[in-house]
């Protein structure tokens, strides 16, 4: 019974895009490039992008994108959700690289995109271990300069690695799961055959952790509390009004500021809380990736 439930949970955990949204090809000079007909940005022409094929200890070859930022001090290791591949995420990666001033490594799990093998919990653990080893050996990244970012099912491999690296700069959990069975069956205890037992592993994480999640299953903020019945919040994304002068600013579930609610149609927050400066008039307003705190110096508010 346990094995059957575990397999069922795993079946619902992985939905790789089919067909993959990109292909990996080798140029005449031997360099790997990613080619995608569906993306507005030609991946093959990005000189800051390294396309990598990385061997895992379970015998698979996984694809990774490494995006360089010449101004970066930190590196972000991004583990994506269960229904996307690197071709769909390239534009997001490029924006995060620039806005956060980081180098960024994203990878496709076994069985996703152009990676070989089949998706499984064990394979995702081997995948992220191989990617981290690549960052260490090929790019000289130490854990002190590394931020792990896990979205949805990506929170599993993220916490698997974070529990083993005590000196990480930080961890970001975006719509993370407690465990596979807790999502599927709404149980409140851990079973031996559960998958992605994040609720247990997070207790072993020593670095600062930022959790990004919606308040409830429909993401609706209690209207009586803020006076906007249709506002859709992010738990750690709500802007402190005293900090930027907009008492009713309410960010939506994916981090974008709800324009109709505060009168700024283009105001947006990115996935880790960076305020889009050009849209609301605070060019340098940012949220601290590791702690989620508004950078006081950037908005001229010492009490921020």
Q: What is the pLDDT of residues 183-242, one digit of tens each?
A: 777 777 777 878 899 999 999 999 999 998 754 323 333 333 434 344 334 333 333 333
Residue 284 confidence (pLDDT) above 90? no
| Alpha-carbon dihedral sign for residues 7, 55, 80, 161 | positive
pTM as predicted: 0.70
Residue 216, number of CB atoms within 10 A of its CB: 11
Which pLDDT band holds residue 70 (cuts at 50, 70, 90)? very high
At 53 the pLDDT is 98
Q: Which of 11, 190, 161, 182 is CA-nearest to residue 79?
A: 161
β 102-107/74-79 pair status: parallel
The 10 Å CB-count burial string (b at 16+, else e) for 48-74 is ebbbbebebeeebbbbbbbbbbeebeb
At 23 the pLDDT is 92
Q: With beta carbons less than 8 A apart as the criterion, state whether 85 and 108 touch.
A: yes
Q: What number of CA atoms fall less than 13 Å from residue 143's CA on the CB side?
A: 15
Phi, psi for residue 61 in degrees, rounded to 5: -115, 120
Q: With beta carbons less than 8 A apart as the criterion, state whether 178 and 199 touch.
A: yes
In this predicted model, which residue has the larger pLDDT, 35 or 75? Answer: 75
> What is the mean predicted confidence (pLDDT) over 103-113?
98
In this predicted model, which residue has the larger pLDDT, 39 or 183? Answer: 183
């Amino acid at each position: 019974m346990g094995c059957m439930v575990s397999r069922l949970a795993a079946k619902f955990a992985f939905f790789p895009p089919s067909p993959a949204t990109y292909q990996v090809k080798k140029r005449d000079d031997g360099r790997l490039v990613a080619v995608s007909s569906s993306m507005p940005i030609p991946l093959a022409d990005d000189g800051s992008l390294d396309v990598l094929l990385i061997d895992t200890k379970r015998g698979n070859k996984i694809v990774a994108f490494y995006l360089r930022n010449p101004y970066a001090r930190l590196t972000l290791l991004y583990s994506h959700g269960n229904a996307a591949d690197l071709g769909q995420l390239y534009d997001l990666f490029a924006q995060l690289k620039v806005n956060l001033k980081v180098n960024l490594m994203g990878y496709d799990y076994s069985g996703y995109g152009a990676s070989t093998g089949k998706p499984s919990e064990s394979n995702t653990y081997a995948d992220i271990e191989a990617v981290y080893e690549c960052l260490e050996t090929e790019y000289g990244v130490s854990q002190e300069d590394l931020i792990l970012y896990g979205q949805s099912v990506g929170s599993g491999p993220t916490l698997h690695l974070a529990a083993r690296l005590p000196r990480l700069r930080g961890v970001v959990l975006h719509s993370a799961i407690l465990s596979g069975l807790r999502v599927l069956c709404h149980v409140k205890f851990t079973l031996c055959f559960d998958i992605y037992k994040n609720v247990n592993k997070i207790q072993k994480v020593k670095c600062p952790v930022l959790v990004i999640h919606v308040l409830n299953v429909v993401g609706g903020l209690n209207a009586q509390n803020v006076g906007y019945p249709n506002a859709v919040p992010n738990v750690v994304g709500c802007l402190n009004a005293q900090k930027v002068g907009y008492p009713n600013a309410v960010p939506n579930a994916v981090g974008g500021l709800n324009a109709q609610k505060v009168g700024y149609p283009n105001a947006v927050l990115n996935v880790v809380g960076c305020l889009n400066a050009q849209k609301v008039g605070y060019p340098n307003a940012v949220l601290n990736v590791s702690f989620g705190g508004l950078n006081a110096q950037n908005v001229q508010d010492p009490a921020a």
